[in-house]
């Protein structure tokens, strides 16, 4: 069966290679009886895979039961999965079949399987290996023919190391792994999903669908989406209901996205111990203040060279000043003068050591906040090959702010 037809049948939206790979594995493994373990973050659509596997298997006419293991209390999970006999525990007024008995001849989907207690994991391992189980409060062995598909968003390596999950059960469940990609790794699908959701909500609430500007689309695709498809759907519904203007720009979209601490982008934090957070403008002013101080130090260094007839003694203060200005190791010549390989734009000390300049021209300093900020951003982007994430971290601002500044200054 082709991947595209499976997508249409189960309402799966997207064309990313990672998504297609997951669906292709589900199609290939469906005709077998092999256990499948579906991994992926919450909200990635893991629940679609067991439905595909069941519907394309020889068990498609048998029962399909989905069980959320994390939603069942630990005290009743064994009874829910394997059944119980009358009087087995307080409140057990009648005998009851469990899910494994009800799903005989079909498929059972164990969602959040890592939340199972260790005692229940031992029972599940026996079912997988022998097809046998015992009801709670009974000694009679019951046979069942069930295909198990499990899913989790837990890191099994950590769970096994901490003793929270049996290693032998993990390998028994993980005969065929399927990895559901997070939405941030499916950037080409994000806008497609948004359009699908806004169309659905426009029909549901009888209002025109939303339209995104080019800048808003870029914001949408570059957001991390920690809640994946579920979060995207919820935010689309919020905007559909609240916004009167059906054309959404980047600024309006950003109002609905969680802050930097939830987006997992670099944030500006005060490490002085007081816990105070600085605004981006204050950080920029601090950068400009530091640049002015560095320029003043450079002027002092040049004046020292000029006033000493082109010589600069290797005193502790002079060497410290050169290190501060140029942030490089300073070596001392045999004649006692500091020696430093300077950048071409500031070779003032080298030239002064060779020749005394009697005449010099005073240059008036000019400071433009916007031009300085623009130059800082351009240099940071160039340093990190136009990767905004690292450029923003270098500048000490958020990636969203950097994106806004790039648009404001028309930087390419």
What number is the average pLDDT over the span 109-138? 95
How far out from the chain centre does Cα 308 lie? 58
Contact 46, 40 (CB under 8 A): yes
CA 231 to chain centre: 13
Separation CA 386–CA 384 (nearest Å): 6
Provide the 10 A C-beta neighbour count for residue 381. 21
Give the pLDDT score at 385. 84
**Average pLDDT value over all residues in the chain:** 82
Separation between Cα atoms, residue 206 and residue 196, nearest integer Å:
15
pLDDT of residue 397: 82
Q: What is the pLDDT of residue 406?
A: 84
Query: Is a pLDDT exceeding 70 seen at residue 114?
Result: yes
Taking a C-beta distance cutoff of 8 angstroms, is the pair 396, 283 a contact? yes
Contact criterion met (CB below 8 Å) for 249 and 216: yes
Model pTM greater than 0.85? no
Strands 132-134, 141-143: parallel, antiparallel or unpaired by DSSP?
A: antiparallel
Considering just the CA atoms, what is the radius of gyration of the chain in Å? 33
Token pair belonging to 380: 């940071």
* Residues 6, 12 contacting (CB under 8 angstroms): yes
Model confidence at 357: pLDDT above 90? no
d(CA 198, CA 201): 5
Options 1.20.1090.10, 1.10.8.60, 1.10.101.10, 1.10.10.10; CATH of 184-258? 1.10.8.60
Residue 38 bridge partners (DSSP): 151, 178
Going by their DSSP bridges, the two strands 338-339 and 331-332 should be labelled as antiparallel
| Residue 20, pLDDT score | 96
Tens-place pLDDT, residues 43-72: 999 999 999 999 999 999 999 999 999 999
Q: Report pLDDT for 350.
A: 46
Average pLDDT over residues 367-378: 75
The more confidently predicted of residues 37 and 318 is 37
Given a cut of 70, whether residue 411 has pLDDT beyond it is: yes
How many CA atoms are closer than 13 Å to the CA of 30, on its beta-carbon side?
A: 21
Could you tell me if 308 and 337 are in contact, meaning their C-beta atoms sit under 8 angstroms apart?
no
Tokens (6 digits) for 276? 């105070």
- pLDDT for position 335: 55
- What is the pLDDT confidence band of residue 345, given thresholds at 50, 70 and 90? very low
Assigned architecture for domain 366-409: Orthogonal Bundle (1.10)
CATH classification of 3-181, choosing from 2.60.40.1180, 3.30.565.10, 3.40.50.300, 3.90.1150.10?
3.40.50.300
Examine the pLDDT at 14 and tell me if it is beyond 70: yes
Mean pLDDT computed over 283-290: 63
State the average pLDDT over residues 241-263.
Answer: 83
Strand-pairing partners, residue 366, are none
Contact 333, 322 (CB under 8 A): no
Q: What percent of the chain has pLDDT over 70?
A: 73
Q: Crossing angle for the helix pair 3-10 and 48-55, nearest 10 degrees?
A: 110
Tell me whether residue 352 is exposed, middle or buried, using C-beta atoms within 10 angstroms of its C-beta: 0 to 12, 13 to 18, 19 or more: buried
The pLDDT tens digits of the residues spanning 189-247 come to 999 999 999 999 999 999 999 999 999 999 999 999 999 999 999 999 999 999 999 99
The 3 state secondary structure assigned to the chain is CCHHHHHHHHCCCCCCHHHHHHHHHHHHHCCCCCCEEEECCCCCCCCHHHHHHHHCCCCCCCCEEEEEHHHCCCCCHHHHHHCECCCCCCCCCCCECCHHHHCCCCEEEEECHHHCCHHHHHHHHHHHHHCEEECECCCCEEECCCEEEEEECCCHHHHHHCCCCCHHHHHHHCCEEEECCCHHHCHHHHHHHHHHHHHHHHHHHCCCCCEECHHHHHHHHHCCCCCHHHHHHHHHHHHHHHCCCCEECHHHHHCCCCCHHHHCCCCCCCCCCCCCCCCHHHHHHHHHHHHHHHHHHHHHHHHHHHHCCCCCCCCHHHHHHHHHHHCCCCEECCCCCEECCCCHHHCHHHHHHHCCCCCCCCCCCCCCHHHHHHHHHHHHHHHCCCCHHHHHHHHCCCHHHHHHHHHHHCCC
3-10 and 17-29 helices, crossing angle to 10°:
90
Residue 88 pLDDT exceeds 90 = no
């Amino acid at each position: 069966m082709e991947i595209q037809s499976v997508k249409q049948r189960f309402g799966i939206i997207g064309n990313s290679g990672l998504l297609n790979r997951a669906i292709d594995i589900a199609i290939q493994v469906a005709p077998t009886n092999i256990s499948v373990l579906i991994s992926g973050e919450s909200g990635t659509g893991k629940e679609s895979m067991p439905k595909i596997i069941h519907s394309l298997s020889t068990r498609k006419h048998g029962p399909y039961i989905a069980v959320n293991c994390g939603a069942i209390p630990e005290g009743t999970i064994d009874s829910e999965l394997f059944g119980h006999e009358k009087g087995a525990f307080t409140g057990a007024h009648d005998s009851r079949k469990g899910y494994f008995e009800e799903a005989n001849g079909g498929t059972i989907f164990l969602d959040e399987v890592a939340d199972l207690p260790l005692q229940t994991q031992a029972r599940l391992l026996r079912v997988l290996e022998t097809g046998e189980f015992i009801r709670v409060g009974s000694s009679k062995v019951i046979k069942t023919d069930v295909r198990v598909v499990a899913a989790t968003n837990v890191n099994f390596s950590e769970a096994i190391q901490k003793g929270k999950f049996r290693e032998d059960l993990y390998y028994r469940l993980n005969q065929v792994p399927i990895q559901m990609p997070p939405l941030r790794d499916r950037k080409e699908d994000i806008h497609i999903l948004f359009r699908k959701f806004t169309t659905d909500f426009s029909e549901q609430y009888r209002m025109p669908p939303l339209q995104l500007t080019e800048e808003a689309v870029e914001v949408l695709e570059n957001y991390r989406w920690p809640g994946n498809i579920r979060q995207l759907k919820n935010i689309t519904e919020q905007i559909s209901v609240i916004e009167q203007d059906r054309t959404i720009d980047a600024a309006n979209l950003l109002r609905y996205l969680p802050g930097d601490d939830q987006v997992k982008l670099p944030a500006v934090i005060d490490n002085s111990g007081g816990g105070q957070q600085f605004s981006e403008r204050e950080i920029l002013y601090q950068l400009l203040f530091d640049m002015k101080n560095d320029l003043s130090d450079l002027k002092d260094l040049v004046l020292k060279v000029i006033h000493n007839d082109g010589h600069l003694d290797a005193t502790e203060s002079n060497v410290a000043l050169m290190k501060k200005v140029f942030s490089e190791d300073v070596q001392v010549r045999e004649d006692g003068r500091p020696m430093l390989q300077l950048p071409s734009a500031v070779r003032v000390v080298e030239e002064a050591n060779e020749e005394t300049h009697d005449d010099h021209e005073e240059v008036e300093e000019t400071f433009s906040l916007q031009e300085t900020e623009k130059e800082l951003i351009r240099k940071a982007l160039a340093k990190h090959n136009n990767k905004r994430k690292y450029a923003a971290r270098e500048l000490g601002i958020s990636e969203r702010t950097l994106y806004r500044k790039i648009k404001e200054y028309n930087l390419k």
